[in-house]
A and B are shown apart, each in its own frame.
Chain A
Amino acid sequence: MKGLRMAWRFGWREGVSGELTLLVLALLLAVCATSSVAFFADRVRQGLVLRANQLMAADMVINADTPLPPALADEARRNGLQVSGSVTFPSMAMAAGPVALASLRAVPGNYPLRGDMRIGLADGRVRQGALRPGPGEAWADPRLMTRLSVRLGDTIEIGQRRLRLTAVLLREPDSALDTFALMPRLLFNQTDLGATGLMGPGARAQWRLMVSGPLAAVNAWGRAIAPRLPAGARIENVEEARPELRNAMDRVRRFLGLTAMLTVTLAAGAMVLAVRRYVARHWQSVAVLRCLGATQRELATVFTLLFAVLGLASGALGAGLGYALQEALTRMAIPDARDALPPPAAWLFALGPVTAWVLLCGLALPALAALYRVPPWAALRDEWTPRSVSMGLPPLAILALVALSLWQVGDWRLAGWLFAGLCGYFLLAGLAAWGMVRGTRRLAHGGGAIGWRFGVAALARRPWLAVLQVVGLSMGLLALLTLTVVRTDLLDTWRRGVPVDAPNQFVINLQPDQVPAVDAAFATAGLPPPALSPIARGRLVAINGLPVRPAQFAPGEAQRLAAREFNLSWRDDLPPANQLAAGRWWTAGASGEFSVEQGLAQKLAIRLGDRLAFDVAGSRLAGRVTSLRTVAWDSFRVNFFVLMPRTMLAGRETSLVTSFYLPPARRVFADLLVRRFPNLTVIDVTAVLEQLRAVIDRLAQTVEALFLLTLAAGVLVLWTALSATGDERLRDAGLMRALGASRRQLRTVMMAELLWLGAFTGLLAGAGAMALGGLAGWKLFDLPFALDGRLPFLGLLCGVVLVPLAGWPLLRRVLRQSPLSTLRAR
């Protein structure tokens, strides 16, 4: 009780007097950074699941090339789940005049189970909800209406059935699964399907079984039926359908995790300095308390209670701030879904106080333990030096922080790189600082102007403090440089990944004999000639002579990849947006070689040197894997999983594919192309591109918002590093004033020290930022490792400007204080 009362009194007084401000700020920053990222990542994950379900029009979807056995749906119904479905197939749609190929989809009366349909009505209204066409009705994609030259109310003929066009289909809930749907959609009621006569034997269609209900029941059903799915059937995964969005989300999560890790490291650095200052300012008071009869245990109770409450309060407040920041981040990242998102998991609210306690126990307690050990005689003789008691806690705290960061970054290797980089930086900066202090000791004893000599001597006189200060200051400057220069470069690189003129139109099914005419059409329209790639469909049938059976691979994506047909192509050179990850590119005239996309190779356990065989239209195509490639799928160029030399596909029947950028004002060119070459399919991905670009922009904003916290932590480190020596400086200045030093001389001495410190730490930080930027670009953005030689000079400049600027308030305090008051305080 007594301890609690004293802890309260100390805490209250010190809180009011600002003694704990730096410490609390450091804790708040660390907790706010970790909490906000944890909350944000959790809500984005939940949001993705939620949106995924809405985008699939159900909670789980089974896709198949053949009608699915009714037993699967029956089993779902028995388990209390709702069941729906759809049949999608390509067919010609006819109106009074033109004919167009369309993707027809027949849906039952309870479609969709999740998400909204959006349609335009004849009176111009737009309706949204769980809607579907009634019997005898059809809803058409605007592209199809243009091609057929029809309006609402007209009749469309599909097979032997005539349907009345009652709405314009603006958005389907399961569009995510059909992002690259080649043909415009015509939606109609399933009761009309039989009457079309199009579902005869051998009809090519895609059957979907859709299920929804309580998540656990849906998952249980999915697990139960997975082994019994017929060949060609698979459980749909929306993330796989939209890899570019998942990539962006993954990248931002990693980026945010790394930012949080950097913030926590900086805040930890600020805390170490702040606690050191706290101990330096309190040991004499503690010695007096010991003289007055306070026992070690009582003192330990007082300080432990004080800091435990501090940890709890800062943790709770930091978590609150983190939640608010997360709200802002979520608003930026996914504005339309924010209100629909469930709150973050409750246990994440404990993360803040736990982070604060880990930091306090690991970094503050060892230093504070020195306070409990202050001998009572220190009150009489000013000879005692506080020494941290290790207690093995700092390594434990560092380990805990590393584990926390790894969990947040979600990528052990990447976090490991950053952590190793930071450790290496601390070590090198510490060594360099030690060398500098040794060097300045010689300089200080040499001749030269008084300002320079005394300023530099001040560093040499407190070697360990100088080292700590150099490391702390350079850490702060490193953060500032990384966040202002390196960050801008990296985020720009990310944004450039989807350039403004990224291809937004894909043309497929182009026949080789049409190339001159298509080229001419492009030229007439003032567009550059399209870069054409031949395309052939082939199924992987053997790896190293052993037949490929989907069942031999891990369930999920690998099995699906093994079962599907790939788009194969030939090329003489490495395509743009591709990089060689292993092996070598083939030379002209080569044959029997394959280049495989690295992700595919990993999933199907294909290694460099393996022999592959593909079945292309009934004939076998064999060769050895001579290279693995990484492909920037979000470049929106035509990309292929498997490439081979020209000789291997020569003479075979292939069609051609191309992508090109069509400025929005010239959209009509796509329609003209289709009218002139009716066999061509032109796919407009403008909407997808715009969506991706908007997502990346928003995600980049969230990263920038979190960077502000890191920036604040960097400034805090700068400030604490200078404050740590504030009292010593005040005393030294008081003494010098008493000995007759003018204000001008004092200013020169302190400016000399700050300038020297700034130049050295700036140079160190610049070199560190150069290495960090190179590493981040290499590991985060897959850029070639490159060092920006400007950074050390920029660091030097920042150091000589920022460090004296940050030290200015302290300098003013020193100059204003009367020598008597400083000396009396000794």
Chain B
Amino acid sequence: MHVARHILFQHETIPILHDVCLDVYQGDSVAIVGVSGSGKSTLLSLLAGLDLPSAGTVSLFDQPLAALDEDGRALLRRRHVGFVFQNFQLMPQLSALENVMLPLELAGTPRARDLARAMLERVGLGERMRHYPRLLSGGEQQRVALARAFVGRPALLFADEPTGNLDPASGAQVIDLLFELNREQGTALVLVTHDADLAARCRSVYRLSQGRLQADPR
């Protein structure tokens, strides 16, 4: 990708990202670090095609996102992309199993229930399948979110502060699981985090500062 992003606020243009350039390849793990308000989440939105840049291009799987409409981008995400959010973002009205089945059902994958069940077993929540999110701890909720993200075997996974809402012990457990699944499925991983230890586990680290993205020397 090669993009810039600014927003208009009371007729004034406020730049968020300047001339950001980033390439992610299959099997890569990339961490983007930066202070709060540096534009990390904005960058993630652009990378995943959740939002469009003010200038420049973002391509996913050689497909320029600007050439696709909103629904086209959604279909691309459905086929190739997984997400893990800081605040888990599980559907409160669906059970753990139903939450994991959701991306499979959206993609029309057969045997969605069996696949989701197997994935929940994999993340260690075989006993909690019928439980609703409100009955799960933060760590368990994030493990359900990981199962949901990986169940469709996405080629690319975006994780936004995946440990941001967790205590250190639960956070460590979730991160171990994230990297295990990443390795098992050969998924490219783009991670946004504050956590230097977490970033260090990625193959490459970029720092976002004052709207500019720079490779972090290791």
Known: A292-B77, A292-B78. Is A17-B83 also a contact (CB below 8 A)?
no
Contact indicator B44/A380 (Cβ below 8 Å) = yes
Complex contact B50–A295 (CB within 8 A): no
Which of B20-28, B99-107, B177-185 is found at the contact surface with chain A?
Answer: B99-107
- Do B106 and A9 have beta carbons less than 8 Å apart? no
| Residue B209 is within 8 A (CB to CB) of chain A in the complex | no
Query: Which stretch of B54-62, B87-95, B116-124, B168-176 is in the interface?
Result: B87-95
Task: Give the distance in Å from the alpha carbon of A288 to the alpha carbon of B102 in the complex.
Answer: 10
List residues 35-82 of chain B with CB under 8 A from any CB of chain A.
41, 44-45, 48-51, 70-71, 74-79, 81
By a CB distance below 8 angstroms, the chain A residues around B76 are: 293
Closest to B107 in A: A293
The answer to whether B74 touches A9 (Cβ under 8 A) is no
Which residues of B have CB within 8 Å of A19? 93
- Taking the nearest CB of chain A, how far is it from the CB of B98, in angstroms? 7
A521 to B41 CA separation, bound complex (whole angstroms): 102
Is A422 an interface residue when CB atoms closer than 8 A count as contact? no
A379 touches B50 (CB 8 A): yes
Q: Mark A265-295, 1 if CB is under 8 A from B, else 0.
A: 0000000000000000000110111111111
Interface residue from A2, A377, A826 paired with B105 (Cβ < 8 Å): A2
Interface residue A10 (Cβ < 8 Å from any Cβ of B): yes
Contact of B85 among A5, A13, A380, A826 (CB under 8 A): A380
Interface centre among A17, A376, A380 (most CB of B within 10 A): A380
> Closest CB-CB distance, A379 to chain B, in whole Å?
6
- With a cutoff of 8 Å between Cβ atoms, the chain A residues found around residue B108 in the complex are 2
CA distance in complex: A298, B108 (Å): 12
A296 touches B (CB below 8 Å): yes
Q: How far is the CB of B130 from chain A (nearest CB, A)?
A: 12
A500 CB to nearest chain B CB (Å): 60
A19-B93, A291-B83 known; A380 vs B106 contact (CB < 8 Å) = no
A9 CB contacts on chain B under 8 angstroms: 94, 98
Q: Are B50 and A6 interface neighbours, CB within 8 A?
A: no
A481 CB to nearest chain B CB (Å): 37
How many B residues have CB within 8 A of the partner chain?
35
Tell which of B48, B49, B71, B148 touches A295, judged by Cβ atoms closer than 8 Å.
B71
Contact of A294 among B44, B93, B106, B160 (CB under 8 A): B106
Q: When chains A and B are docked, how far (Å) is the Cα of A297 from the Cα of B89?
A: 22
- In the complex the two chains form, is A284's CB within 8 Å of B74's CB? no
Complex interface: chain A residues within 8 A of B85 (CB): 288, 379-380
Band of interface residues on A? 20 to 34
Query: Bound complex: CA of A293 vs CA of B103, how far in Å?
Result: 8
* Interchain nearest-CB distance for B60 vs A (Å): 12
State whether B74 touches A294 (Cβ < 8 A). Answer: yes
Are B83 and A824 neighbours in the complex by a CB distance under 8 Å?
no
Please give the distance in Å from B186's CB to the nearest CB on chain A. Answer: 20
**Looking at chain A's contact residues, is the secondary structure mostly helix, strand, loop, or mixed?**
helix
- Across-interface contacts of B106 in A (CB, < 8 A): 2, 289, 292-294, 298
A5 to chain B minimum Cβ distance, whole angstroms, is 7
Which of B75, B81, B85, B92: most chain A CB closer than 10 A? B92
Q: How far is the CA of A295 from the CA of B77 in the complex (A)?
A: 10
- Bound CA span A434–B40, Å: 39
Q: Which residues of B contact A285 (CB under 8 A)?
A: 89, 91-93
0 or 1 for each of A340-367: is its CB under 8 Å from B? (1 = yes): 0000000000000000000000000000
A47 sits at the interface (CB 8 A): no
Q: A2-B108, A380-B45 are in contact. Are A291 and B93 (CB under 8 A)?
A: no
Shortest CB-to-CB span from A364 to chain B, Å, is 18
Shortest beta-carbon distance from B187 to chain A in Å: 15
List chain A residues, Cβ under 8 A from B78: 292-294
Known: A5-B105, A293-B77. A375 touches B51 (CB 8 A): yes
Roughly how many angstroms separate A10 CA and B105 CA in the complex, as a whole number? 13
Q: Judge whether B138 and A295 touch: CB under 8 Å.
A: no
A284: B residues at CB distance < 8 A: 89
Query: Which residues of A are found within 8 Å of B91, using beta-carbon distances?
Result: 285, 288
Does B74 lie within 8 Å of A376, measured CB to CB? yes
Give Cα A6 to B91, complex, Å: 13
A18 to chain B, nearest CB (A): 10
- In the assembly, what is the distance between CA of A736 and CA of B22, in Å? 42
Assembled-state Cα–Cα distance A297/B72 (Å): 11
Say whether B74 contacts A13, CB under 8 Å: no
* Closest beta carbon of chain B to A385's beta carbon, Å: 16
Interface flag for A381 (CB, 8 Å)? yes
- Tell me how far the C-beta of A15 lies from the nearest C-beta in chain B, rounded to whole angstroms: 10
Given contacts A380-B50, A824-B165, contact A292 B103 (CB under 8 A): yes
Residues of the B chain whose Cβ atoms lie less than 8 Å from the Cβ of A13? 93-94, 98
Nearest residue (CB) in B for A16 is B93
Q: Which residues of A contact B93 (CB under 8 A)?
A: 10, 13-14, 17, 19, 285
Q: Are A379 and B74 in contact (CB under 8 A)?
A: no
- The answer to whether B48 and A291 touch across the interface, beta carbons within 8 angstroms, is yes
Chain A residues within 8 Å of B105, by CB = 2, 5-6
Residue of chain A at shortest CB distance from B73: A376
Given contacts A293-B107, A295-B71, contact A380 B41 (CB under 8 A): yes
Contacts of B160 in A (CB 8 A): 380
Q: How far is the CA of A5 from the CA of B104 in the complex (A)?
A: 13
The docked-state distance in angstroms from the alpha carbon of A10 to that of B98 is 10
Q: Tell me which residues across on chain A come within 8 A of B107, comparing CB atoms.
A: 293
Output the nearest chain B residue to A14 by Cβ-Cβ distance.
B93
Given contacts A13-B94, A288-B89, contact A379 B71 (CB under 8 A): no
- The smallest beta-carbon distance between B208 and chain A, in angstroms, is 15
Please report the C-alpha to C-alpha distance between residue A2 and residue B45 in the assembled complex, in whole angstroms.
27
Given contacts A285-B91, A824-B138, contact A292 B51 (CB under 8 A): no
Residues B94 and A379 in contact, CB atoms below 8 Å apart: no
Q: Within 8 Å CB of A295, what residues of B?
A: 70-71, 74-75
Contacting B at CB under 8 A, from A1-50, are 2, 5-6, 9-10, 13-14, 17, 19
Residue of B nearest to A380 (CB): B41
Task: Determine how close the nearest CB of chain A comes to the CB of B133; give it in whole angstroms.
Answer: 10
Contact A293 B50 (CB under 8 A): no
A287 CA to B91 CA in the complex, in Å? 11
Query: Which residues of chain B are within 8 angstroms of A5 by Cβ–Cβ distance?
Result: 105
Measured in the bound complex, the distance between the Cα atoms of B45 and A377 in whole Å is: 6
Instruction: Write the nearest CB–CB distance from A83 to chain B, whole angstroms.
Output: 71
Contact of B83 among A292, A296, A375 (CB under 8 A): A292
Q: Is the CB of B51 within 8 A of A377?
A: yes
The smallest beta-carbon distance between A424 and chain B, in angstroms, is 37
Question: What is the CA–CA distance of A294 and B93 in the complex, to the nearest angstrom?
Answer: 17
Closest-CB distance, A284 to chain B (whole angstroms): 7
**Could you tell me the distance between the alpha carbons of A379 and B45 in the complex, rounded to whole angstroms?**
10
Chain B, Cβ-Cβ closest to A294: B106
With a cutoff of 8 Å between Cβ atoms, the chain A residues found around residue B89 in the complex are: 284-285, 287-288, 379
A293 touches B138 (CB 8 A): no
Q: Which of A17, A297, A826 has the most CB of B within 10 A?
A: A17
Residues of A within 8 Å of B41, CB to CB, are 380-381
Nearest CB in chain B to that of A1: its residue: B108
Write the chain B residue with the least CB distance to A298. Answer: B106
Q: Which A residues are CB-close (under 8 A) to B45?
A: 376-377, 380-381
Tell me the nearest residue of chain A to B85, going by C-beta.
A379
Which residues of chain B are within 8 angstroms of A6 by Cβ–Cβ distance? 105
Report how far A17 CA is from B75 CA in the complex, Å. 30
List B contacts of A377 (CB < 8 A). Answer: 45, 50-51
| Interface flags, A297-311, vs B, CB<8A=1, else 0 | 110000000000000
Question: In angstroms, how far is the closest chain A Cβ from the Cβ of B132?
Answer: 8
Other A-B contacts than A294-B106, A376-B45, A379-B83, 6 sampled, CB-CB below 8 A, are A2-B106, A285-B89, A288-B89, A292-B77, A293-B76, A380-B50
Q: List 12 A-B contacts (CB under 8 A).
A: A9-B98, A10-B93, A285-B91, A288-B91, A291-B50, A292-B106, A293-B74, A293-B103, A294-B74, A296-B74, A298-B106, A379-B50
Q: Interface residues, chain B, CB within 8 Å of chain A? A: 41, 44-45, 48-51, 70-71, 74-79, 81, 83, 85, 87, 89, 91-94, 98, 102-103, 105-108, 138, 148, 160, 165
Ranked nearest first, the 5 interchain pairs of A and B with the lowest CB-CB distance are: A293-B78, A295-B71, A376-B50, A377-B50, A377-B45
